[in-house]
Structure 1
Amino acid sequence: MKFKNIVSIALMTSVVGGMTTSCGDEFLKEELKTEFSTDYFKTQDGLDDLATGAYLKLKFKFNYIWGIECYNMGVDEFTDANNQMPAWNHYGDALNSTEGGANQPVWDNYYGLIEPANVLIKNVPEFYGQSNADYNTRLGEGYFMRAYGYFELVKQFGGVPLKLQPSTGPETYFTRNSEEEVYAQIISDLEEAYKLLPTTPAQVGRVTKYAAAHFLAKAHLFRASEAYDKWNSAYKNDDLDAVIKYATEVVNAHPLCSDYVQLWDYKEANGANENVSEVVLAAQFSNDESTWGRFGNQMHLYYPSVYQDMKGTNRDISGGREFSYVSATEYTMEVFDRVNDSRFWKSFITCYGCNNTKNAPTWTAEDIASGKAPAGVAAGDKRFVGGQVGIKYIVNNPGDDRYENYASGASDVLVSKDGVLQAPHTFVRYFKGQDFNWNTDIKNLTGNYYGVIPHKRSVALSKYRDGARNSIASQFGTRDAIIARSAEDVLMIAEAYIRKGESNYAQAIEWINKLRERAGYAAGENRSVNVDGGQAYKNNSYCTGKGGGYSADGAIYSEQNTYYESNNIAETTASSKAAMRLNSVDDVYNSPTEQRIYKVLKCSTNAEKMMCFLLDERTRELCGEALRWEDLARTRTLDARWHAFNDGVSRGIGDFKADKHYYRPIPQSFLDGITTESGAGLTAEQKQAMQNPGY
């Protein structure tokens, strides 16, 4: 039974929602039944409801725009797209203590998770009854939720106030604890959760011993990272051993999927794809409208490239609603071995179908007169029709002389290949005669999509695409959102061995190879097939039954990709797993895929190359999964990588400053609302002392 019944909780007040138990597929249902006093939390039913209600906050990261702004914007993988975000992608002046769109909600919501966790930790021992079969689980959930909340806060803001007791009334006096103190609390709480939580959840979606182990490994790895070098030397060795211990347990308990695409093969809401073995913890969403609350899962909105303004393509459910907040950078194209590494083609969209034949572009007399039109076409013929590819992205390499730009307009794009005009709207990474370019200088760009600013055209991430929504315009995504999967544990183990020193590099490579061999194509695999969650439209009654998101002409979702055309190679069914395998550390140092990256980041030592490779491998495996900003911040590589790979560096909107932007600003509303111990409001100087440097 999927864990979907949940209550609404008005945190820091006396209001709690009731929970209804369902025999069906119903968990995280937000249903405010009545109001209770805080005495309700001194009963077993009340504590059960409180624990269940706390799971709402696990959905928070995926609920709204902060999911992209705070976690995957202003990094190397993505720059901003059709919706420009000066504060978050460019580190502009708008990223300050009064920014309320993302910064303040992150602060407020994770403290909103800590409060019910504190109540659970205090009240379960007193009022639940240790003989109850759920006693350990409820207490373990309290410790896990408190640790999770503080972990999210310390990663964004640095040291924050530790509040470890439930409120009994208004509280206004707080001081900031050090990062060291916050990490000590996080690890202590996770250790308690690890001891108390079951290995198997009573309901899908609840935290387990292995979820605690995953975050224990992660907290230890973060504490051992460069962000905390001023104070972490006494912890590093033990921390790295702990990473290996806990993460290995997670990998053993949650085996990797045999094929990377299984993680993203979303066919229908609440389907089998959401319960693959690799998933350690996921925020629970569904197509049950009563579970959506205010936001639902909105991550599907932020990565799409705009397609609806090109002739022959109307927005539909299968293609997604293109809020288009981020656009993949040239780094993200370059970091993959796109011939042998299936993860690129199983993570990105390169073909879009035609779903509006009537409005599809036509061949013109000028096209025919140029001698470049395909043989046999006449003026007025459609360039493509429903069911055919209407838009394609060619992810080729410099030196590819097949493509030349012929004509581009607002809704009509023409490119020639080997002298013949292409029928679909065709976007190309490199045209004939163009040399490699990181495309960070907006005055010197390659191809015909990097130069569209704002970046409405891009090779778009497919991991969140959702064809199970109930209308074309719906922002409410139905897919569960992965919070933790064991592939990240594999990478954490590898990183721990790298950090242990050169004598441990071989062990790091053994672990990395678990992912790289999985990423290789299997013998007989069709490399030209695209699979992503857009396909769920086929099982969606709003498309097939009600006509709301599916055209008789076809769908935007396409089962094709441009693998062969982009790579310009002959078709093959051979395995590429051996080609993906690292045979020694020399394969890391001399990796052809990595050479340009090593050069621009000035990686010269073996240690620098190993850590660079590890971070690149995290992109190849985890791209877009709301982890990148914190990874680059903890390793103190965000400065170098933003300046090397994000075109924000040349757009004159802002600039990443290492002495400021490794931390987010403490919200002004918090500083204005707290007091000294005597109850007096803080002076300007006291507020500044509480604030992070530079804000």
Structure 2
Amino acid sequence: MRKFRIIPIAVFSIILAFGLKSCTDDILQEETRGVFTPEFFKTENGVQGGLTYLYQNMRNVFGFAYYLNLTETGTDEYVPAQNANNNFYDLDLAGQGNLSSESGYSVGVVWDNSFPAVNMASGIIENAAAVGIDNSLIAEARFFRGFNYFLLVQNYGGVPLDLGSGELAYNSNPLRKSVRNTVPEVYTKAIFPDLEEAINDLPAQPRLTGTVTKNVARLFLSKAYLTYAWWLENPNNIPTYPETPRTDPDSHDASYYFQKAYDLAVEGIENPGPYRLLDCFYNVHVATNDRNEEMMLYADRTEGSEIYNGANLGYSGTDGSANTAVWMVTSNYTAMSLDGISPVQREAAQSYGRPWTRMAPPIGVLTKTFEEKDLDSRYDATFVTSYRGNWDKGGVDKATIKGANDMEIAPGDAVISFLDEPNPNVNYVNGAGIGGGVLPGRADYVINPNEITKAFYPGLWKLGTYRTDNNGGLGSPNGAITRPFPIAKFSEFYFLAAEASVKGATGSYSAYDLINVIRARAGKWCYDNGEQEERIEDNSAAMVNATPDVIDIDFILAERSREYFGEGYRWYDLVRTQKWNELAETYEIGGSNATDHSISKTTRTIEPYNYLRPIPRGQLDNMDMTQAEKDAYQNPGYQ
């Protein structure tokens, strides 16, 4: 699928667009069309085609190859791994790279994809009423305009509201000049009004599988209120750009918006519509249960069609809308060798997939963030902690092979495992050729959680590959992932309300009450992923009893990391709360060789200006402005 690079001042008049639904399906269907003009939006097909584009466009950001690099590298959740290059070093801010307007494939993706969506939404909003389109459909466009402006303001600060035809007006005429609005203007003129109106007009139930609803809009407006409240408060004096006073145009202070965030999040909890918390955390992410009631918004893919999937199903590159983000955080487990064979082969299954070894969790994730691994099910349902033999699926005719301590391993048995707790008795012998150690009586090789390396570490199970066409073999692990990529979950209402409560908002539920709903669920086990067996266990009471009496922002951020680890939340969370430096300034991990379990400490240099991303070079180069004007357009500190 061809991808156009769009800058907001030269908004497209020719794009790839799509028609909406077939008569037999209740999911979005794509059909290539031609030109969108204001007249086209005055037809039902035009409106529906534009809306389908808005849903399709999410795939270009959420789940694309470097999405986790953009949102996780440089935080306390992920660091560059053995095969990282400057795409990853630039964003890690540890001195090996240089974050700039030309940094890799990451810094421009939100800019390049959000503005076409904003303009598309504006075209629908302006013209759809002329053909009597239901307000609920126009509300979907309003949601996406507010949603995309919220993405933009979090990444870049103030951005243009005028794309060439006036503020929030649809533009089809190329314009090569641009003026950035301030952060308060983007929130109060675009994000808040659009999402408020979307709440009013969207239905409680989705019109099609995966379309937005009243409660989806509530969640994002609550999050926008919360983020803006932090921006107004500015506890650590982080600079903004374009420079402007940290004041609200309507003279409201931060506490006003914290309260609005709380009230709206509670309203979402009490009016769930079709959404709910699932009974156990494992079921939220097991691939056989995708598109469940907890998932409120996702960038959808499909195994049924390469056209509708937006990427090749057999052997995919990392360009365009291919869902390949989890490849980057998967270490090369296929480097294992035992008894003359590769015991763990590349497989199209949730624990395996295609290993690129670009990003690794630092040791603190395994020893601090997920310190409690027995009561709390979230560690087990987030990571791949045991790599199991599948040589039989690859056609190797061996009933068993020799593992650790010369013991027999059969297909399905663990070849190498990451221990829950450090064990000083582990003797590293380069087991399986990938740095494993031995413990008496165990056939699998083991690695301590405080001795992982940049070469081999637990994979991210929750986003892993899933296919239904393996037919008993290894399947097609090199094809783009066909699962939906999660964007928003019902669980976040509890976090938003709890965070606002910590910041002074009041209401029926305290931060302690709200967080304990999440923690109680985390204590309920229905399956043991590491052991690959059923585990029916309820540790909810113990989890609640371990919750501190006084909840603070640090505890909420730790809980958010346990709940949403590796899904692209972390950079936004640390930037919003201005905790990035405090929580991610240093990290520890082993060496780049799988046998190097010696731990080194790395220090990042996170400058205040890094709290905004650079405006991408392609935007600056395409503007007909003086160099001085372009320099002033760029966020300070970047080239």
TM over 0.5: yes
* 1:519-530 → structure 2 map (5 Å cutoff): 519-521=522-524, 529-530=528-529
Q: Give the count of matched residue pairs.
A: 571
- Whole-Å separation in 2 of the counterparts to 1:286 and 1:510: 38
Selected match of 2:376 from 338, 341, 363: 341
Selected match of 1:295 from 300, 318, 321: 321
User: Residues 362 and 261 from structure 1, CA distance in 2 versus in 1: closer, same or farther, beyond 3 angstroms?
Assistant: closer
- Whole-Å separation in 2 of the counterparts to 1:332 and 1:265: 21
User: Residue 500 of structure 1: SS of its match in structure 2?
Assistant: coil
User: Residue 243 of structure 1: SS of its match in structure 2?
Assistant: helix
Superposed CA offset, 1:166-217 (max 9, x none): 1131112211111111111211111111111111111011111111100110
Superposed CA offset, 1:64-94 (max 9, x none): 2331121111101121223322112236543
- Tell me the residue number matched to 1:615: 557
User: Would you say 1:191 and 2:217 are equivalent positions?
Assistant: no
- Tell me the residue number matched to 2:538: 575
- Whole-Å separation in 1 of the counterparts to 2:483 and 2:629: 45
Offset at 1:251?
Answer: 2.1
- Whole-Å separation in 2 of the counterparts to 1:573 and 1:214: 32
User: Would you say 1:314 and 2:371 are equivalent positions?
Assistant: no
- Whole-Å separation in 2 of the counterparts to 1:124 and 1:9: 26
User: Would you say 1:486 and 2:490 are equivalent positions?
Assistant: yes
- Whole-Å separation in 2 of the counterparts to 1:149 and 1:112: 10
Q: Which amino acid aligns with 2:345?
A: N
- Tell me the residue number matched to 1:352: 387
Offset at 1:412?
Answer: 5.3
Offset at 1:250?
Answer: 2.1
- Whole-Å separation in 2 of the counterparts to 1:228 and 1:647: 35
- Tell me the residue number matched to 2:61: 61
Moved more, 343-352 or 24-33: 24-33
Selected match of 2:256 from 216, 238, 241: 238
Offset at 1:577?
Answer: 1.1
- Whole-Å separation in 1 of the counterparts to 2:114 and 2:377: 36
- Whole-Å separation in 2 of the counterparts to 1:178 and 1:138: 29
- Whole-Å separation in 1 of the counterparts to 2:300 and 2:4: 15
* 1:524-673 → structure 2 map (5 Å cutoff): 529-530=528-529, 559=532, 575-582=538-545, 587-588=547-548, 610-645=552-587, 655-673=604-622
User: Would you say 1:182 and 2:208 are equivalent positions?
Assistant: no
User: Residues 329 and 560 from structure 1, CA distance in 2 versus in 1: closer, same or farther, beyond 3 angstroms?
Assistant: farther
**Length-normalised TM-score, structure 1:** 0.76
Q: Quote the sequence identity (%).
A: 27
User: Would you say 1:511 and 2:514 are equivalent positions?
Assistant: yes
Superposed CA offset, 1:146-165 (max 9, x none): 11111111111111111311
Residue segments in structure 2 that go unaligned for 5+ positions in a row? 163-167, 235-244, 311-319, 338-342, 470-474, 592-598
User: Residue 62 of structure 1: SS of its match in structure 2?
Assistant: coil
- Whole-Å separation in 1 of the counterparts to 2:26 and 2:357: 32
Superposed CA offset, 1:30-70 (max 9, x none): 43155565532221221121112211122222242331121
User: Residues 242 and 504 from structure 1, CA distance in 2 versus in 1: closer, same or farther, beyond 3 angstroms?
Assistant: closer
User: Would you say 1:256 and 2:259 are equivalent positions?
Assistant: no
User: Would you say 1:212 and 2:217 are equivalent positions?
Assistant: yes
- Whole-Å separation in 2 of the counterparts to 1:421 and 1:257: 38
User: Residues 137 and 146 from structure 1, CA distance in 2 versus in 1: closer, same or farther, beyond 3 angstroms?
Assistant: same
Selected match of 1:386 from 387, 411, 418: 411
User: Residue 103 of structure 2: SS of its match in structure 1?
Assistant: coil
User: Residue 115 of structure 1: SS of its match in structure 2?
Assistant: helix
Superposed CA offset, 1:114-163 (max 9, x none): 110110111123x221xx5xx21221112111111111111111111113
* 1:80-99 → structure 2 map (5 Å cutoff): 80-84=80-84, 85-90=88-93, 92=95, 93-99=97-103
- Tell me the residue number matched to 2:237: none
Moved more, 98-107 or 230-239: 230-239
User: Residues 499 and 414 from structure 1, CA distance in 2 versus in 1: closer, same or farther, beyond 3 angstroms?
Assistant: closer
User: Residue 48 of structure 2: SS of its match in structure 1?
Assistant: helix
- Tell me the residue number matched to 2:287: 266
Partners of 2:519 and 2:544 within 8 A in 1? yes
Offset at 1:465?
Answer: 1.0
**Length-normalised TM-score, structure 2:** 0.82
- Whole-Å separation in 1 of the counterparts to 2:5 and 2:633: 30
User: Residue 266 of structure 2: SS of its match in structure 1?
Assistant: helix
- Whole-Å separation in 2 of the counterparts to 1:56 and 1:38: 21
User: Residues 20 and 688 from structure 1, CA distance in 2 versus in 1: closer, same or farther, beyond 3 angstroms?
Assistant: closer
User: Residue 160 of structure 1: SS of its match in structure 2?
Assistant: coil
User: Would you say 1:304 and 2:304 are equivalent positions?
Assistant: no
- Whole-Å separation in 2 of the counterparts to 1:238 and 1:152: 22
User: Residue 410 of structure 2: SS of its match in structure 1?
Assistant: coil
Offset at 1:389?
Answer: 1.3
User: Would you say 1:149 and 2:162 are equivalent positions?
Assistant: no
Superposed CA offset, 1:618-669 (max 9, x none): 1111111211001001111111211143669998998333222111111122
User: Residue 13 of structure 1: SS of its match in structure 2?
Assistant: coil
User: Would you say 1:104 and 2:108 are equivalent positions?
Assistant: yes
User: Residues 16 and 648 from structure 1, CA distance in 2 versus in 1: closer, same or farther, beyond 3 angstroms?
Assistant: same
Partners of 2:285 and 2:462 within 8 A in 1? yes
User: Would you say 1:247 and 2:265 are equivalent positions?
Assistant: yes
User: Would you say 1:690 and 2:639 are equivalent positions?
Assistant: no
- After superposition, the CA RMSD in angstroms is 3.1
Q: Which amino acid aligns with 1:47?
A: V
Superposed CA offset, 1:251-298 (max 9, x none): 23122111111111222xxxxx23322222222211122212243322
Q: Which amino acid aligns with 1:668?
A: R
Offset at 1:101?
Answer: 1.1
- Tell me the residue number matched to 1:456: 455
Offset at 1:518?
Answer: 0.8
Residue segments in structure 1 that go unaligned for 5+ positions in a row? 1-6, 268-272, 365-372, 430-445, 532-557, 562-571, 590-605, 676-680
- Whole-Å separation in 2 of the counterparts to 1:639 and 1:216: 27
- Whole-Å separation in 2 of the counterparts to 1:256 and 1:41: 38
* 1:401-412 → structure 2 map (5 Å cutoff): 401=424, 403-408=425-430, 411=433
- Whole-Å separation in 2 of the counterparts to 1:518 and 1:658: 38
- Tell me the residue number matched to 1:276: 292
User: Residues 412 and 668 from structure 1, CA distance in 2 versus in 1: closer, same or farther, beyond 3 angstroms?
Assistant: closer
- Whole-Å separation in 1 of the counterparts to 2:463 and 2:231: 31
Q: Which amino acid aligns with 1:338?
A: K
Superposed CA offset, 1:471-520 (max 9, x none): 5343411111221111111011011110007x989811000010011111
Q: Which amino acid aligns with 1:588?
A: P
